Amino acid sequence: MMKENIELNRAREFGDIISDTFVIFRQNFKPLLKSFLVICGLFLIADTFITAIVNNTRHSDDVSLHQHWLFLGVVFGVVYNTAFVVTVLSYLAIYKEKGNQPAEVLEVWSYFKYYYFRVFLTQVLLIIAAIIAFLFCFFPGVYLSVVFSLVMPVMIIENGSIEYSFKRAFKIIKENWWFTFGTILLIVIIVLACTLILLLPPMIFYGGAQWLLGESPDNTAGIIQAALMNLCQILWIIPIIAITLIYYSLIEEKEGNSLVNRIKMFGKNTPGTDQISSEQY
């Protein structure tokens, strides 16, 4: 018997977030993957070739050429990562709005167009802030990175401005930093382990071939390696789902319990309780 689609907007314990993350990923894998490939496909192809060129120019005599492509790779990496994050968060926002039903590609695309540049600018600001924090001291960088993980869900789910999303993220994570940090850390470790398992065989194959032949791999090998690395990025949908569940859980604990109960009671005539007026909603 197929499980009912999971409700995003409810308070969850640590274990519930982990388990529900993988259930949501499994239940929505096909429509999520379709949205990802349609919207981010060109980004994926371009990033694959840029990454392959960076790898192939690493041992080049022309150091400036490698640095040029490396800089381009970093910039486009932010462009691609933004597209990836916006696509997944847009899908989840629409999934919630549709009553836990899969989102269509055109629906995700409409959100993507609206939020992409706002999220891109925010991503750049977050990266700069995190780098500065890490330069001053490691732990402030870690602290801010966890807080910053909630900025994007706030921005897309609540349609928040950059300033609002920053303030909102700090507010909802208050007294729940360790809970958020531990959940994200475990999910990231799981995804990294799965990525390593998928990438280890081709790494051994190409590394062994290079050692036996005594020469660097050709351009085709570099493209294949870059493509495999980018395809493994699909697994990073999992942490985005987990962060979204954390966001909803924190919001529900801080602000939503009484509202949800009132909504459940809406339209019911309970003895000793006044009927709630629909104008409040």
Query: Each residue's pLDDT tens digit in the chain (281 positions)?
Result: 446 778 888 888 888 999 999 999 999 999 999 999 999 988 888 888 887 777 777 766 666 777 777 888 888 888 999 999 999 999 999 999 998 899 999 999 999 999 999 999 999 998 888 888 888 777 878 888 899 999 999 999 999 899 999 999 999 998 899 999 999 999 999 999 988 888 777 667 666 656 655 555 555 666 666 667 777 788 899 999 999 999 999 998 877 654 444 444 444 444 333 433 333 33
pTM, full prediction:
0.81
Q: How far is CA 223 from the centre of its chain?
A: 25
**Interior angle at CA 188, CA 7 and CA 246, nearest 5:** 30
- Cα–Cα distance, 169 to 157 (Å, whole number): 12
Distance CA 108, CA 38 (A): 10
Q: Contact, 247 vs 172, CB < 8 A?
A: yes
> Do 51 and 227 contact (CB within 8 A), yes or no?
no
Largest Cα span, the chain = 85
CA angle 231, 236, 237 (to 5 degrees): 100
Neighbour tally for 36: CB within 10 Å: 22
Is 206 in contact with 225 (CB distance < 8 Å)?
yes
Residue 81's contacts (CB-CB under 8 Å, 6 or more residues apart) are 123
